[in-house]
Amino acid sequence: MLTVKSIELIEINLPLVHFFETSFGRTYERRIILVRVEDSDGAEGWGEITCGEVPGYSDEWTDSAWVTTEKILAPMVIGGPVENASFVFDLMTRARGHRMSKAGIETACWDLEAKKLGVPLWKHLGGVNREIECGVSIGIQDSIEQLIDKIQIELDAGYKRIKIKIAPHWDYDVIKQVREKFPDIPLMGDANSAYTLADIDKLKSLDEFDLLMLEQPLGFDDIVDHASLQRQIRTPICLDEPIKSPGDARKAIALGSGKIINLKNGRVGGHAQSKLIEETCRVAGIPVWCGGMLESGIGRAHNVAISTLAGYTMPGDVSASKRYWHEDIIEPEVIVSATGTITAPDRPGIGFGINRERIEKLSVRTATVSE
Ligand code: OSB
Ligand code: MG
């Protein structure tokens, strides 16, 4: 049985080593909400709410997540009780949406439970591949030369797949030059919904670059136009934004909206939902890989753990702490091997220590909800 007694929220402000630009804007500093849950035995677990600073990627953002988690979701979970962490999401079903906020609480409960059982979270989740393959996501840069330099650095570091952000002002010519420089690397583009079917000629033209996949070219909530696009291009479409639930995954697969899914814990509401989607996709022969939301070490550790499941068959956007932060909030930091892999830790729970001192230094507000 799992009975959550209190939920603590801590907002930390963490400047990125390098700004991150997507088709919906630039981020210089993350405003991250950490979630610490404590149960009736005084055991603790940690999670992270992965939403952005503005409602650009999704409708959740830091301030909306803060009030929703404090006023609505935490009270639904406190007192429980539930049989185990896989039922925590269900305690919050009376609140629609807000899946990243729910995932902050839910993933913290999984960490707590795994710690109490004395098992690594990745095993507790049903993981099978302790060593996971890593790719990187590189934002829109000020110049193509900068982008090419960045790609070279990541290839030298060993990363197995390069994703570049694209947008109508930063697509065909950019990919063409990248391909000329790196003819054979596993390369993909992520448009974060920057196009419509009216851009069909442009999207078709990208087929010549043999991209591994094209992530989320069309509407953030669309799976119908994507199906139409997939019938007209050779490059596999990877869905990100519109897949928020196991039902969404099932429908997108049925429609043929894409051939691959970028599975993000936050976007779908936590580990239990990721597990359901992973299973749906595995059975349907649809590869999934773990996406990223510029997480701190805590969200990153959860991403490492879930990436060990059998259906995560492609390199994810799960990369080393040092690509994002001068100093992370976990110890040790997440490191990537020279061959582009991360080995999931064998300590209980997320398997990384929490640097409370650093969190305190970065903290700008806290709130505690208890019975
Ligand atoms: O679309 O995958 C995305 C970051 C923020 C919001 C959306 C996305 C991303 C990334 C970065 O691509 C992945 C990462 O390195 O964490
Ligand atoms: Mg994406």
pLDDT at 219: 98
For ligand 1, atom 8, which residue shows the shortest CA distance? Answer: 293
Domain ranges of the chain: 4-118+355-370, 123-343
Q: Locate all alpha helices (DSSP H) within 197-257, ordered by sequence.
A: 200-205, 224-232, 246-255
d(CA 294, CA 180): 29
Q: Facing residues of 354 across strands?
A: 330
Catalytic position from the list 165, 202, 259, 361: 165
**Can you tell me the mean pLDDT for 319-341?**
98
> Could you tell me the two tokens for 198?
């009216």
Which class in CATH covers the domain with range 123-343? alpha beta
d(CA 342, CA 349): 16
Task: Give the ligand with the smallest distance to the CA of 293.
Answer: 1
Answer whether residue 371 shows pLDDT above 90: no
d(CA 37, CA 368): 10
* Burial class of residue 1 (count of CB atoms within 10 Å of its CB; 0-12, 13-18, 19+): exposed
d(CA 6, CA 40): 9
pLDDT at 31: 98
Element (H, E) at 289: strand 288-290
> Could you tell me the two tokens for 226?
């994507």
> Which of helix, strand or coil describes residue 224?
helix
d(CA 96, CA 266): 14
Per-residue confidence band for 336, with pLDDT thresholds at 50, 70 and 90: very high
Answer whether residue 112 shows pLDDT above 90: yes
For ligand 1, atom 4, which residue shows the shortest CA distance? Answer: 293
In this structure, which CATH number among 3.30.390.10, 3.40.50.2000, 3.40.50.11600, 3.40.50.720 belongs to the domain 4-118+355-370?
3.30.390.10
pLDDT at 24: 87
* Calculated CA dihedral for residues 150, 155, 158, 162, nearest 10 degrees: 80
pLDDT at 130: 98
Question: Could you tell me which of 291, 313, 311 has the C-alpha nearest to residue 302?
Answer: 291
pLDDT at 135: 98
d(CA 361, CA 185): 41
Measured in Å, residue 241 CA sits from the centre of ligand 2 at 7
> Could you tell me the two tokens for 136?
């990187």
pLDDT > 90: what percent of the chain? 99
Best residue among 16, 21, 30, 294 to mutate for probing ligand 1, ranked by most atoms within 8 Å of CB = 294
* DSSP assigned state of 55: T
Q: Which residues line ligand 1 (CB under 6 A)?
A: 22, 57, 137, 190, 192, 240, 291-294, 317
Question: Which atom of ligand 1 is nearest to 262's Cα?
Answer: 2
Element (H, E) at 127: none
Catalytic annotation present for 163:
no
Q: What is the pLDDT of residues 16-49, one digit of tens each?
A: 999 999 988 999 999 999 999 999 999 999 999 9
Q: For 128-137, b where at least 16 C-beta lie within 10 A, e where not — what string?
A: eebebbbbbb
Answer whether residue 356 shows pLDDT above 90: yes
Per-residue confidence band for 279, with pLDDT thresholds at 50, 70 and 90: very high
**Can you tell me the mean pLDDT for 82-103?**
98
Element (H, E) at 366: strand 363-370
Q: What is the pLDDT of residues 210-234, one digit of tens each?
A: 999 999 999 999 999 999 999 999 9
